[in-house]
Amino acid sequence: MQKLLKLSALSSRHIAGGLLLLYLISTAFLELPLYAAWQHRLQLPELIFVLSCPLLIFTLYRSRHSFALNRLDLAVGLYLLINVCSALWNHQASPWLEVLGKSYLVGVYLLFRLGVQNQQIDQKDMIPAFKLMIAAIFLMISTGYVMLYFGKENVFLARFADYPYLGTVYRAKALLQTPSMYISIVNWCIIYLLANSLQKGNIYRSLLQLLLFGMIALFSFSKALLLTGFAVLLIFVFHYRQQAIRKVWLPVMIVFGLLYFLFTNFVFLKPGNGGEVGSTYLAVNEIQQDDQGSLIPTAYFSLKKAAIGMGLDAPFLGVGPGCFINQLQVKQQTGAYPSHLPLHDPHSVYLGAWAETGSVGLLGLLTLLAAVFGRIRKISTNDPFYQIFLVWLLLFLLEGMNTDLMNFRHYWIQLGLIGGWPYLNRS
C-alpha cells in the first residue's frame, strides 16, 4: 500500500510537471483561433490552467503543513489586494473584469511557485522548453516571410504603415498579439538559452546561438532590441567577469535605459521635414519647418502625459484597474490627449500603476519588485539560474518604462519561478 502511494505521488508529480511545461510553452501561442469574442483573454494557456487547477489544489493540500508564506508571496497578495481596493473605491463595474484577470495571473504565480517548491519542474526541464519555444517562433516567422514574399499577408507578421524611420514594414509577431509581446517572449528565451550555453563552456556554439537569436529578435523592428543588447551584454559580463558585474550593471543600465526611453518616446526628423504628418505614431499632426531638425514626441509620450494626469486626478487609488482607456477617451474629448491618436493602454508598468491604482498601487508595485530582488538574493550564487533571474529583473525594470508588463502571462511564470527557487537550494 505504501509503495502504491509513493507511485501515485510520483505520477501526479510528473503530470503536474508536464502541465507546467505545457503552460510555459503555450505562452508563445496566444493568437490561436479560440474564443475570439473574448479579445484573446482566453487562450491555450487558460485551458491548460483549468486542467492544472485540481493539481494546484491537491498540491496546496499536500503541502499545507510545510507551506510558509515568503515576502514575495505577501507582496503578490498585497498587489492583488490593492487592485481590489481600487475597484471598490471607484464604484464601477468595469474594473472587476481586470481584477478577475489579475487574480488569474496570481494563480499562475502560485502554480509555478508551488511547482518549483515541490520539484515538479526544475532546470533540466525548462531549458528544453525554451528551446522548443524559440524553434517554434523561428519556424513561424520564417513561414511568415516566405508567404509574404509570394504576396500573401499572414498572421505571423503585422503590417505597420508609416512606421518611424522605416515607412511600411512587416514586423514579426509569430502567434502573439503584438510585436512588443513577441520581442518580450524572445528576450525571455534568449536570457535562459544563452546563459545556459555559456555555462556549458562552448563559446562557438554560444556565438552561433547569439547570431540566430539576434536575427529572430531583429525582425520585430522594435525599440526593445536595445534591451536584447542590454541582456546579452550582462550575461557575457556575468559569465566572464562575474566580480565586475557590481561595478558595471548600474552605468550600463542607465545608458541603455536612457536610449530606450529616448528612441521610444521621441522621433528625430531630418532638417526640412515639415508639413502634415498624418501618423498615428507621432503626438503632433503638423510639424513646422526646422533647418536644425527636431525631436518629435510619439504616442508613447502622450500616453505617459495622460497617465500622469490621471494619477494626479485620483492620487490615492487611481481611476480603477483597467479603466485607463475609458479615462483616456474623456481626456481626448477635452483636448488633453491628441484626437488623431488611437486609444491605448498606458504602455508603462509604473505610470499605469500610478494612473489606475494611484500612489498606493505604485507603492505596491515597487514593493513587489523589491521583494523579487530579495528573493533572488536568497538563491545561491553558484546556482546557474541566479544570474538568469538577476538579468531578468534588470530587464524588467527597463522594459517596464514603455510596456504594460503586469498583464503578460510569462512574467507571472517568472515571478513564480523566483518565488519557489530558493526552496530547491535547501533541498
pTM across the whole model:
0.92
Question: Given this model, what pLDDT does residue 375 score?
Answer: 96
Contact indicator for 133, 185 with CB cutoff of 8 Å: yes
Q: Which H or E run includes 126?
A: helix 123-149
Instruction: Return the bridge partners of 159, or none.
Output: 170
d(Cα 64, Cα 69) in Å, to the nearest integer? Answer: 11
Domain extent listing, the chain: 1-67, 76-118+252-427, 122-222
Whole-angstrom CA distances from 55 to 102, 115, 117, 213, 417 are 20, 10, 14, 35, 17
Would you state the cell numbers that stand for residue 218, as one nine-digit string?
531583429
How many separate helices (H) and strands (E) can be counted in the chain?
14, 6
Q: Where are the alpha helices (DSSP H) in 150-298?
A: 179-199, 203-218, 225-240, 245-265
What secondary structure letter does DSSP report for 383?
S
| pLDDT tens sequence across 64-101 | 666 788 999 999 999 999 999 999 998 888 899 999 99
> Shortest CA distance to 72 belongs to which of 383, 322, 377?
377
Say if CB 194 and CB 210 are below 8 A apart. Answer: yes
Asked whether the beta carbons of 181 and 34 are under 8 A apart, the reply is: no
d(C-alpha 47, C-alpha 25), whole Å: 13
- In tens, the pLDDT along 341-382 reads 889 999 999 999 999 999 999 999 999 999 999 999 999 888
Judge contact between 119 and 408, C-beta under 8 A: no
Per-residue pLDDT of the chain (427 residues; tens, 9 = 90+): 444 334 344 566 678 888 999 999 999 998 876 554 455 567 889 989 998 888 777 767 776 666 788 999 999 999 999 999 999 998 888 899 999 999 999 999 999 998 888 888 888 889 999 999 999 999 999 999 999 999 999 999 999 988 888 889 999 999 999 999 999 999 999 999 999 999 888 888 888 989 999 999 999 999 999 999 999 999 999 888 777 777 888 999 999 999 999 999 998 876 555 444 556 788 876 655 554 557 889 999 999 999 999 999 999 999 999 999 999 999 999 988 998 888 999 999 999 999 999 999 999 999 999 999 999 999 988 888 999 999 999 999 999 999 999 999 999 999 999 999 988 766 5
* Grid-cell match 508613447, residue found: 300
User: What are 167's three cell numbers?
Assistant: 515607412
Whether the Cβ atoms of residue 307 and residue 315 lie closer than 8 Å to each other: no
11: Cβ–Cβ under 8 A, 6 or more apart, which residues?
A: none
CB 171 within 8 A of CB 221: yes
pLDDT number for residue 120: 81
CA distances from 14 to 10, 80, 266, 362 (A): 6, 30, 50, 39
Report how far residue 324's alpha carbon sits from residue 343's, in angstroms, rounded to the nearest whole number. Answer: 9
Q: Please work out, in degrees rounded to the nearest 5, the angle formed at the alpha carbon of residue 97 by the alpha carbons of 96 and 98.
A: 90
Nearest to 419 by CA among 23, 1, 74: 74
Angle at 395 between CA 42 and CA 351, to 5 degrees: 70
Which residue from 166, 285, 306, 143 is spatially nearest to 222, judged by alpha carbons?
166
Distance CA 381, CA 243 (A): 12
